[in-house]
Amino acid sequence: MQADIQADTAVIISAKDEQDRIAATVEAAASLPGVDLVVVVDDGSTDATARIAEGSGAKVVRHSRNRGKAAAMETGASAVRLLDGDVPRHLLFLDADLGETAKQAGPLIEPVRGGSADMTIAVFSELVKLGGHGFVVRLSRDGIKRLTGWSATQPLNGQRCLTRAAFEAALPLAAGFGVETGLTVDLLRKGFRITEVEVPLAHRATGTDWRAQLHRARQFRDVGRALAAREPAVARQRDRLRRAGR
């Protein structure tokens, strides 16, 4: 950590069965300027992810079963809150499979630290082939544009830095793989400032086998649900049902 940057940021990494890459990701994240805490949320792993993460210097919180990305993000943020001092840390969310490229995530923190953005979203400068992933991206991008007027370059990118205030304003997060889409819509609607930042990060490409196709189907479902819940007519009906059930 550079001596001229005050420690003000925690990295939160959601991980499931990432024993091959988690050590490199944790160590790279810990080297980022201003980062003094790395929290790994082991979301129901059946391998050595938690043990390796802890051995690499991370604080580890475990889910006994897989609860999904949104739940892992909330768990990680809660763990950071318990360790915060008088001034809340900024929250940098990174994927577990970034490996050594996580050391390039520093530019995501800078606009938040400098006060020019409440949330940053990574735009990967070097894209890997995603095996048909584009239709989910289009669903998210078009939905965000329709609901907020803002065009996102990589709306599903999970590499994001937020102020604590922005994160709290977005709770509860949209479930599962809808979390990034819901987070973007909710913060824009509440007047928070979002900036996209190009960074040379890279994670494992999604394949084309049946497991990858199932993964994309789940993404499509969760993104669709997140958008539907934020459509004005649907939201009003949901609120009426909630009030009626009190």
- For 158-197, how does the pLDDT look when each residue is reduced to its tens digit (9 = 90+)? 999 999 999 999 999 999 899 999 999 999 999 999 999 9
- For 27-63, how does the pLDDT look when each residue is reduced to its tens digit (9 = 90+)? 999 999 999 999 999 999 999 999 999 999 999 999 9
Q: Round to whole Å and give the CA distance between 67 and 76.
A: 13
Q: Strands 90-95 and 9-15, how do they pair?
A: parallel
- Measured between alpha carbons, how far is residue 80 from residues 16, 20, 201 in Å? 19, 25, 24
- For 102-161, how does the pLDDT look when each residue is reduced to its tens digit (9 = 90+)? 999 999 999 999 999 999 999 998 765 444 458 899 999 999 999 999 999 999 999 999
Q: Which residues pair with 13 in a beta bridge?
A: 40, 94
Q: Which long-range contacts (CB under 8 A, 24 or more apart) does 144-148 make?
A: 144/181, 144/184, 144/185, 144/188, 147/185, 147/189, 147/227, 147/230, 147/231, 148/184, 148/185, 148/188, 148/189
- For 69-103, how does the pLDDT look when each residue is reduced to its tens digit (9 = 90+)? 999 999 999 999 999 999 999 999 999 999 999 99
The pLDDT of residue 209 is above 80: no
* pLDDT for the residue numbered 125: 82
- The whole-model pTM stands at 0.89
